[in-house]
Structures are given as C-alpha cells and as structure tokens.
Chains A and B, each alone.
Chain A
C-alpha cells in the first residue's frame, strides 16, 4: 500500500532500563523519523514503559520465513559442544 495516506508503518523498540536490550513493543504510523520518534514516545511510554526508544521503518525489517525454520535453526540443535555444560571440569578447581 504505497499510497497509504496515513504514512508508512514503523516498528517501535523500547529499552526499559539502561543496559537492558531493546525490546519490540509495537507499531505506529508516521511520515518522518522525527515524528516517528515523537509518536513512539506519546504512544508507548505513557506509563513509564521505557527510557530509550528506537524506531525503524517496517519496510526495513527482513524476516526469516516459516519455510526456513528447518534449515535455519535445526542445525544448531546438535552443536551441544557450544554450551558450557558439555565440558567436564574436575571437582576441586572451583567455579569456572
């Protein structure tokens, strides 16, 4: 819908506290980036939900598709050697 008179759609990410990751919290419409930022503030932080905002045009999001699920994620299943619990550490050396 390129002719949407409501402007393009944006994705909003909020950081709840400094140091925490930015988490997706919703969408909105805005015509330019300054407006997107202001709208995100007015819509998604009315109850102190965040202290830092990212806005990204939805059209910039590239998503994996469900068809990719097998080929993308299953190969990681058997790489148990990537996890610390794979390794035996002798008793007595303390926490590692």
Chain B
C-alpha cells in the first residue's frame, strides 16, 4: 500500500508522545483548537502588560521599578513567542490582533480586574502568575512543537515573576501597618478572581477528551484549583494574612483544604465583557495599535525603498 495514511501517522505520533511540527499533517480541528488556544494565551500576555504596567511610573523604589519594568517586558516577550507559534499554524499576527482589537478573541479574564494599589502588583505576580505557572508547566509537554518550545522558554522566565510578586508582598506584610493593610486588601480582592483562572468547575466543564489526548491538558480545572489552594496557604500564613473565605479549613481526610467556590455568575459576567476594566483594556490596546499604524507603514515603506522585499510568511 503506497498511500500514506496521514491521520494514522498523526495518531501514532501522539501515542508515542512525539511532537507535531508545523509542516506535519494535522486534523483541522486540532489546528483550529491550537490557533484559538495559543492566540488567546498570547493575547493574555499582551493585555496582561497593562494592569501591572499601570504602576511602572509609580513604583516606590528604583529597584522595584527596574524589576517591574523587566517583568512587564517579559510578558510582552511571552506574547511574542506565542504569536509566532500560532503563526506557524497558518494564521497571521494581523489576523490575531484584529480579533483581539475587535473583541472577537478572548483573553484571560483576570486582566479585566483593576490594579488599585501598589500591593496589587505583588498580588498579581504572586497569585496570578503562580496560578498561570501551574497551567504552563504542563504545556511544556504539549503535543505541538512550537507551542511546547515557547512554553519551555516562558516557564524559565516566569519562575522569577512569582518570586518577585511574593517578595513584594513580604515587604508589605512585614512593613508599616498601612502597608500590611494594603497587602491584605489586595489579597482580598485577588483571591477569588485567581481561583477563577482555572476555569469553571469540572461538572460544568466535562474534560474535553481531545484536550487530554493532544496533551493540551493533563489535570482537570478542579484538581488544579485544589493544588493551587494547598500550595498557597502556607505562603499566606507566613505573611500573616488571611484568605477572604470563612469556609477555608484543612481537611485531614482529603489531605487538602476545603474552600468556597468563587462567584461563577461574576466570572461569566466578566467574560461577557462586564468586568471592571474590559472596556479600558481593549480601548488601550486599540489606541496603541492605531497610533502605531504610521510607524509600521513608515518601516514598511523604508524597507521597500531599500529593496528589502522579504516575503511575509
């Protein structure tokens, strides 16, 4: 039989834990799923620059200013790695940005919450990046090569983000009473939105068979959420802060903490566009993009005049 069965080849690679590469044959729904997931991930990094970037000019020490600037820049870099990974599947940066700017594409809802004080910069680094890392570590072994390689690079760089956030929180929690109050207030506001980052409860989000098969997912939303709470509690205790959840307590039997579910109605509302900052974030992205249009046109015109006509991929 001289005909190659591409689907079988694809399945065989997955079964052997091998990577799928850009030129390999892949099923349409795999390609579509990945483009959607990777571009959403990229958008989250780019929009995620805004809530923290909000505090760069106001960082209260020169050291913290350097750290925050480097961190926000890293997020931009991560967005970039991911955009190019998605492009290898046949979409373009323009298409993806257009989807973001017109509100068609989603990004992580967490970035629709405001950063109201300096403590929020710490809470975002510690909790939000901490939660993101739990997903990202798993994605380093995802089946699509360029995505997995981007995640390896990202995870390496992310590990400093969470530590930076926690360090900032320690300065506040062991600082003046006003600083400690600021830290507690930030934890109160970011706790539930962070728990929401793992997605709806398993009962409402039956594990997609494909997501597991494609090594895009390895644990369920609830498993990850539980692991995050277990991991965070000693860190919170050390800071002398409390979680805004009266039901939170150790459960000896399950060897984990019991905790209250976040407000899922709020979650759905934020996804629908009614979060505190949805409009601002999109408006800000659009403004930068539109104001940059003449710069991009000038660069393109210049390249043409230099006879540098590289074909866009």
- In the complex they form, whether A and B have CB atoms below 8 Å apart is answered with yes
Binding site for B on A (CB under 8 A): 1-10, 26-29, 31-33, 35, 43, 46-47, 57-60, 63, 65-67
B306 at the A/B interface (Cβ < 8 Å)?
yes
Q: Are B93 and A4 in contact (CB under 8 A)?
A: yes
Please tell me if the beta carbons of A8 and B310 are within 8 angstroms of each other in the complex: yes
User: Interface on B for A, CB 8 Å cutoff?
Assistant: 4, 9, 21, 23-25, 73-74, 77, 80-81, 84, 87-88, 92-95, 97, 149-150, 153, 157, 293, 296-297, 299-300, 302-303, 306, 308, 310-313
Identify 7 new A-B residue pairs, CB closer than 8 A, beyond the known A8-B313, A65-B23. Answer: A1-B312, A6-B94, A9-B87, A43-B77, A46-B73, A59-B312, A59-B313
Q: In the complex, are the beta carbons of A2 and B312 less than 8 A apart?
A: yes
Q: Is the CB of A8 within 8 A of B84?
A: no
CB-based nearest B residue for A35: B299
Interchain CA distance A7-B4 in the complex, whole Å: 37
The minimal Cβ–Cβ distance linking A28 to chain B, given in whole angstroms, is 7
- Quick one: which of B4, B73, B84, B94 contacts A5, CB cutoff 8 A? B94
Contact between B300 and A7, CB atoms less than 8 A apart = yes
For B90, the closest partner residue in chain A by CB is: A1
Q: How many angstroms between the C-alpha atoms of A63 and B22 in the bound complex?
A: 10
The answer for the CA separation of A40 and B310 in the assembled complex, in Å, is 17
In the bound assembly, the distance between CA atoms of A57 and B308 in angstroms comes to 10
A and B contact pairs by CB, cutoff 8 A, 5 listed: A4-B93, A8-B310, A26-B153, A32-B308, A46-B74
CB-based contact B302/A9 at 8 Å? no
- Asked whether B23 lies within 8 Å of A59 as measured between CB atoms, the reply is no
Do B4 and A67 touch (CB < 8 A)? yes
Instruction: State whether A4 touches B92 (Cβ < 8 A).
Output: yes
Asked if A29 contacts B93 (CB within 8 A), the reply is yes
What residues of chain B lie closer than 8 Å to A26, measured between beta carbons? Answer: 81, 84, 149-150, 153
A8 and B23 contact, Cβ closer than 8 Å, known pairs A26-B84, A28-B80, A43-B80? no
| Bound CA–CA A44/B300 (angstroms) | 23
B310 engages A57 (CB within 8 Å): yes
**Residues of chain B contacted by A60 (CB below 8 angstroms):** 310
The answer to whether residues A66 and B23 also contact, given A5-B94, A46-B77 and a CB cut-off of 8 A, is: yes
Which residue of B9, B74, B310 contacts A59 across the interface (Cβ within 8 Å)? B310
Q: Are A6 and B93 touching (Cβ within 8 A)?
A: yes
Return the chain A residue nearest B299 by Cβ. Answer: A31
Within 8 Å by CB of B312, from A4, A33, A35, A66, lies A4
Which single member of B84, B97, B157 contacts A9 (CB below 8 Å)? Answer: B84
A66-B25 contact in complex given A8-B311, A9-B84, A57-B311, C-beta closer than 8 Å? yes
